[in-house]
Structure 1
Amino acid sequence: MNTRVANQYDDDYHVDLGPKFEPRTSRFDVDRIMDSIRNFATVSEGLRVLGAAILVVSMSMFLMQGWNDGNDIRRYLMLLTQTGLLAAAGFALSHGLKETKGARLFFGLALISIPANFTILGALLYSVFQWDGALTTYPGYATWTIENIASTGITLAGAMVVLLPITMFCFAIMARHSAKTLSLHFFALNMMLLLPIRSSLAAGTVALLGTLYALQVVRGVIGKDMALKTAEGKFALIALFIPAGIILFRSMYFYQVDSLLIAMLAMAAFMAARQATMFPERSARVALVLEMLSVPFAFIFSLALTNALLPSIPWALVAPVFAVAYSVLAADLVRRTENRNLAAAIGVSISLFVAFSFMFCVAAEPAALTTFLSLIAAGLMVMAGIALGNRTAIIAGILTAIASLAFGAQALVSLVLDSSWIELAVFGACAITLGSILDRHGVAINLRLATWYGALEDRNEEIALDG
């Protein structure tokens, strides 16, 4: 019994509150129930992942099996039916069992199977029409042909009737408010897979344009729809890059990989990383990692582009092509990075790579034009270093000038001795004109460079103070 004693006017009052309440332990522990729910959720999630993996394997096996019992039109219609069944399974789960996670998984699989459909349609078209004449012998699982050309239009029309509504419905599940926009752009990107081209130049160009187009679409819709920041929304955005990835993979797997294709691939990676680092809600660490990866992307692009153009340009232009390509991409990194140390390192890399490229070219072929262009590059590096207060650029320019004169001075002297007075007069007049231009606009150029560099330094200092 509980007794509460209250003293009032020196009198004692004893109040009986009844038996004390003691809570009994329930037969079902709440924590155990929650653990059971978590276990069931883990098992269900594992089953979903397993089922998705099995379906992906089944689609891959379908593409790699011969299906000798039917022609390729019937073989493609089976793939189209599989895409429709995936969407139907998602619809049945969402409206029948009222279960959304499994339904979204089916719709996601249906969405990524749509580029596979366009890939096969492109292979069927390429067996009839080739714009580049690059038709080769494919493995058995990659051989798709149309015997009756008249059936091409019917197959394409039927596929579009099925794939377009599935695309719109899948995007409506992933991101409802942006479904129409994403569906139209996704369909347009998949249409690139129908182009009957396979050469590295054409495929690399199309893949690069597709990547830039997808990046522009992502940039336009990411800030307008909050649903795109969820896992399903991010998956919908990633799906936009699948067609360009298929084009690159197909060219690299079935055809000879050359420098031009590598350059296109590196540029696509550079632009994708650039766009990711410019998102408003980006992670600082992820942005730093992507900016660091962009440096080798820029170097690979410049080197591969120079190698691809090597057979069609004179040796004297090899170093300028590499120097301009790398300097432009690296300067873009310096301009937008928020890490002061990374910006300084990239600036040093510009000076070193430009200087080394010109010194290598003049050492390999000490011709007069090569030496002259190297001296011009050395002078530009020295002037840029003075204007920006960069000692590395000044030293690199001086070393480039010394190496150019050491290897190519004889070629320059021979050129002067072998030239006529008219040629020397034209050269002198050009030098005077260039000096006049620098005298007239050099101060403005110097001020602009100093202002740009000062603003960059102030921004880096503010970032360092905020950190």
Structure 2
Amino acid sequence: MNTDSSLHDTPMSPPPLPPQATEDTPAKPAAGPAREWQWPPLPKLLRWLGATTLLASALAFLVKDWMQTDEVFRYLQFLGLTVLLSGCGWFCISRWKDDKGARTFFALGAALLPANFAQLGAMLYAKQIGQESFNGFREAFAFTDPGPLMWPTFAGALLLLIPLTYLGFAAMARKQAKKLTLLYIIGNSLLLLTTRDPNLVAMLGFAQLAGLIWADRRYFASQSSMKTWDGVAMRTLLFAPFGLQIGRNLMLHGNDSELLISLLFTTLTLVFYTGLPRVLKNSACANASRLISLAPAAVAWATAINATGLHGDQWFVPVTLIPLTMIAALMSTKMTRGGHAVRRTAALVAVGGALIQLMFFESAYSSLLMVGTSLSVILSGYAMKERWIFRIGLGGLGVGLVYHLRYAADLYQSDWIWLSLAGTGVLVILCSSYLERYGRQGWQSIRTLHHKVSQWK
């Protein structure tokens, strides 16, 4: 009890913190001949086992109301577990001088913050909106009105959780503790929103994910102290409230929102494209992870487009297929192997899709789509100096122009034939004047371009 009261009195003055792992830690010896796998030290193994057991117990607490008690008492028990973990960290560093065990306890205390806020949000929802009925295992997420004890519990929890969160981040990443705590509290505060509309939650999730990625790039990615194991763990912990928000709404309302499913697959895309390659030391495994990320990216975009209501065959190529090829081409730029094949396939699919659109839905719009897609492929091939992509674009452009000539022939048969003939005559005379003045330079430019293309990959 003395420990808790001292934390409450001086929320931003933590105890002597354990030394933080930084880049100044002695480097490991240079890699020599392959060595046999060694068992980790027993204390380290016990810390991992204990942390896993505690997180499993927290998960079991959230999904199973095994205590059959009122909501406030149920939450106070979980809050007590959070405070106990920080108290154990205090004890390890102040009595036993064990910085590793203290960091483990402090980090676990901060990691349980999203679960605390999720329960506070459920009680707040029951207080303002009313109890929601669920069937099966989802009954564990239903809270009843906590009564008059709701607001004192809410205020007391915040007064305890905010300083404990700062204590956890200060133990693991001392220099960035304030920024990490602020971002973490903002992310967890979204769990207090009483809205359960899946589409609104999905849009808030997209905004939260974009904000977290921007903040990580802006404040932490370039800091050497945040590239250590402790720093990476704390940067990852910032995404825990976002993950809990997705998981909760998918289990409760996953079948009601395609935007929510799109958010899930967008998250999986980022995990496979950005997260795992940073963890995997083998470049081949990292490249394979990026290749796998193409699948969830396709599902994410397709479900997002489907949620907008743009159904029908005439919309598939322009709003789904061609943007997907652009996404695949952009993602392939960081692939060390297979990137050329992905880009070539994307170019073929884009031009082929535009051609199918032109064949089955003949219109001036389809013809312009064919020409615009082909020009984009040509420019992409030129910028990346890839010969086959450049040639695919040229072929598509030729087909698109042939269709435009067909529409021009139809125009000649209309009542405005005299105007179209006059416009054609003026265009021919202008072309002759241009060729007379710049013809040689034009042919020289074409030969120079052909020579450059022949030297590309």
Q: Same fold (TM over 0.5)?
A: yes
In the TM superposition, what whole-angstrom CA distance separates every residue of 1:338-364 from its partner, at most 9, and x where no partner exists? Answer: 73x53322321321332344355556x
The residue that corresponds to 1:347 in the other structure is 343
Report the Cα distance in structure 2 between the residues aligned to 1:136 and 1:359, rounded to whole angstroms. Answer: 51
Which amino acid is the alignment partner of residue 363 of structure 2? A
- SS at 1:137 equivalent: coil
Aligned partner of 2:178 in structure 1 is 180
> Per the alignment, in what secondary structure is the counterpart of residue 144 of structure 2?
coil
User: Is the 1:73–1:146 Cα contact (8 Å) retained in structure 2?
Assistant: no
For residues 23-56 of structure 1, the C-alpha deviation after alignment (integer angstroms, 9 at most, x for no partner) is xxxxxxxxxxxxxxx99x7333333333223322
Query: More deviation in 93-102 or 257-266?
Result: 257-266
Equivalent position to 2:216, from 193, 215, 218: 218
Structure 1 residues 319 and 67: CA distance shift in structure 2, 3 A: same
CA-based RMSD: 4.6
Larger Rg: 1
The more displaced of 193-202 and 377-386 is 377-386
Alpha-carbon spacing, 1:389–1:328, altered in 2? closer, same or farther (3 Å): closer
Query: C-alpha separation between the residues in 2 aligned to 1:385 and 1:331?
Result: 9
Could you list the runs of 5+ residues in structure 1 that have no partner in the other structure?
A: 1-37, 440-446, 462-467
Give the whole-Å Cα distance in 2 for the aligned partners of 1:101 and 1:241.
Answer: 23
1:34 — aligned with what?
none
Q: Are residues 1:115 and 2:111 paired?
A: no
Does residue 375 of structure 1 match 2:367? no
8 Å contact kept, 1:64–1:141: yes
If asked which structure has higher relative contact order (CA below 8 Å, sep 6+), I would say: 2
CA contact (8 A) 2:317 2:353 kept: yes
* Percent of pairs with identical residues: 23
Between the aligned partners of 2:233 and 2:253, the Cα distance in structure 1 is 30
Distance 1:175-1:140 versus aligned 2 partners, 3 A rule: same
Q: Is the 8 A contact 2:71 2:143 kept in 1?
A: yes
2:26 maps to what in 1?
none
Q: Give how far 1:273 is off.
A: 5.8
Does 2:134 align with 1:137? yes
The amino acid of 1:137's aligned partner reads: F
Deviation at 1:172, TM superposition (A): 0.9
Equivalent position of 2:267 in the other structure: 268
Residue 54 of structure 1: aligned partner: 53
Q: Which residue of 2 aligns with 1:23?
A: none
For the residue of structure 2 that corresponds to 1:197, the secondary structure is: coil
Structure 2, unaligned stretches of length 5 or more? 1-37, 435-444
Cα pair distance change 1:416/1:256, threshold 3 Å = farther
Q: Give the distance between the partners of 2:142 and 2:378, measured in 1 at CA.
A: 59
CA contact (8 A) 2:262 2:301 kept: yes
In structure 2, relative to structure 1, the CA distance for the partners of 1:352 and 1:277 (3 Å cut) is farther
Query: For the structure 1 residues 68 and 140, does the alpha-carbon distance in structure 2 shift closer, same or farther, using more than 3 Å as the test?
Result: farther
Aligned-partner SS, 1:198: coil
What is the CA-CA distance between 1:248 and the residue it aligns to? 1.5
The one-letter code of the counterpart of 2:254 is: Q
**Residue 73 of structure 1 corresponds to which residue in structure 2?**
72
> Counterpart in 2 of 1:11?
none
2:175 maps to a residue whose letter is H
> Contact conserved, 2:375 with 2:397, CA < 8 A, in 1?
no
Query: d(CA) in 2 for partners of 1:324 and 1:231?
Result: 40
Q: Is the 8 A contact 1:382 1:398 kept in 2?
A: no
Judge conservation of contact 1:174–1:233 (CA < 8 Å) in 2.
yes
SS of alignment partner, residue 217 of structure 1: helix
Contact 1:189/1:210 (<8 A) preserved: yes
Displacement of 1:378 after TM fit?
5.3
Query: Deviation digits for residues 238-296 of structure 1, max 9, x if unmatched?
Result: 101111111121222222345423332333344566655998x9985565345334433
Distance in structure 1 (CA, Å) of the matches to 2:248 and 2:414: 53
TM-fit CA distance, 1:163: 0.6
Secondary structure of the 1:146 match is: coil
| Alignment TM-score, normalising by the size of structure 1 | 0.68
The TM-score, its normalising length taken from structure 2, stands at 0.69
